[in-house]
Amino acid sequence: MGFLEKIKKGLNRTVQVLQTDVRDLFKTEGRLVDADFVNDLFETLVKTDMGVEAAQSAADEIKEKFRGRVVDKNEILAGVKEKLKALMAQEGPAVRFAESGPTIALFVGVNGAGKTTSIAKLTKAMTESGKTVVLGAADTFRAAAVEQLQIWARRLGVECVAGPAQSDPASVAHKAVSRALEVGADLCLIDCAGRLHTQKNLMNELVKIKRVVGKLVPDAPHETFLVIDATTGQNGLNQAKKFTEAVDCTGVVLTKLDGTAKGGVAVAIRQQVGLPVRYIGLGESESDFEAFNPNDFVEAMFS
Ligand SMILES: Nc1nc2c(ncn2[C@@H]2O[C@H](COP(=O)(O)OP(=O)(O)OP(=O)(O)O)[C@@H](O)[C@H]2O)c(=O)[nH]1
Ligand SMILES: [Mg+2]
């Protein structure tokens, strides 16, 4: 399956809702762009959870461009897509690799967001491109969490460093990074326990993990990926804002896009959280994962 096809399939629910709504907007061939139309367009866009601001600026763009004219669906969609792509523009690669030595990436976020699964998915993508990966099971909170990562590691054929149950997560992170240095791994991906931004101690624990790995490898962690569950909508968005205020994050992994009609949340994240979306999760299997590309994403949404 091609790249765009895969995203389209994953975004199926969002695509379907948009298709129906857009069809309703253009019941007649061509439509006069008046205040009613602009309002209907705004409401359609807002339904995808892209945020009021983004939906408004796309609708405004259409108003400015076409007001008083009768235009067809393709013209309108081209205008909307162009605006959304501009709003989501971002720079840089999906992973910013260390200049030399292992690249250290932490995965953080609220409980159940998809951190561990995303680590497995990224591991698969990286090993397939010839990179060596060491995992760190720094979610020592629950024994099952360590086991979950170990199972993935076995399946994917990579090493997983763990510590005794309830041990200090920072010491496990230290061990994992040391191991990555020792074996000359390209990447060390560290799984952190889920937490809420309001849990001060747990947030401080993340700060400590960062400090500890930074002592072993200058500039580490090179990435702190904030994992966000797309199905949690506005709530997830608010949590994400608070989260990254407490611990600097470098990018977002947006999971479970396959489970929601509100795929526009990717736009809202870019706009409201201010972090680039680096990867998207489109299902539960290890291959349901793609590096994020705003242009393809917007094309897929309106396909
Ligand atoms: N449909 C779908 N399910 C996903 C995706 N990513 C993760 N999941 C599922 O979400 C559930 C939670 O995933 P985990 O990776 O365990 O989440 P976590 O953030 O590590 O959870 P905690 O460690 O408990 O905080 C699992 O059932 C995953 O299979 C995705 O992109 N799509
Ligand atoms: Mg986990």
Q: Provide the pairing of β-strand 103-108 with 187-192.
A: parallel
Read off the pLDDT of residues 105-128 as tens digits, 9 standing for 90 and up.
999 999 999 999 999 999 999 999
The model's pTM: 0.95
Measured CA to CA, the distance from residue 178 to residue 176 in angstroms comes to 5
Residue 130 region by backbone torsions, left for phi larger than 0, else alpha for psi between -120 and 50, else beta: left
18: nearest Cα among 81, 88, 86, 72: 81
pLDDT at res. 3: 72
Secondary structure of residue 1 in the 3-state scheme:
coil
Measured CA to CA, the distance from residue 23 to residue 17 in angstroms comes to 10
Whether the per-residue pLDDT at 144 is higher than 70: the answer is yes
Whether the per-residue pLDDT at 303 is higher than 90: the answer is no
pLDDT at res. 1: 65
DSSP 92: S
Secondary structure of residue 103 in the 3-state scheme:
strand
Measured CA to CA, the distance from residue 60 to residue 66 in angstroms comes to 10
Residue whose token pair is 């260390």: 98
Measured CA to CA, the distance from residue 56 to residue 10 in angstroms comes to 26
Atom of ligand 1 nearest to the CA of 283: 32
Mutate-to-test residue for ligand 1 from 6, 196, 255, highest number of ligand atoms within 8 A of CB: 255
Mean pLDDT of 43-67: 95
Whether the per-residue pLDDT at 170 is higher than 90: the answer is yes
Contact 264, 49 (CB under 8 A): yes
Sign of CA dihedral 120, 218, 196, 292: negative
Percent of the chain at pLDDT > 70 equals 99
CB atoms within 10 A of CB 271: 16
Class (C level, CATH) for 103-301? alpha beta
291: nearest Cα among 170, 167, 128, 68: 128
Whether the per-residue pLDDT at 37 is higher than 90: the answer is yes
Higher pLDDT, 239 or 103: 103
Domain boundary assignment for the chain: 3-88, 103-301
DSSP 272: I
Contact 226, 240 (CB under 8 A): yes
Nearest CA to ligand 1 atom 29: 284
**From the CA of 10, how far away is ligand 1's center (Å)?**
15
Atom of ligand 1 nearest to the CA of 227: 19
Atom of ligand 1 nearest to the CA of 255: 31
Atom of ligand 1 nearest to the CA of 148: 16
Residues whose CB is under 5 A from ligand 2 (ion)?
115-116
Nearest CA to ligand 1 atom 14: 114
Rounded to whole angstroms, the maximal C-alpha distance in the chain is 69
**From the CA of 256, how far away is ligand 1's center (Å)?**
8
Tokens of 260: 């929601």
pLDDT at res. 294: 94
CATH architecture of the domain covering 3-88: Up-down Bundle (1.20)
Sign of CA dihedral 255, 274, 48, 74: negative
Mean pLDDT of 161-182: 96
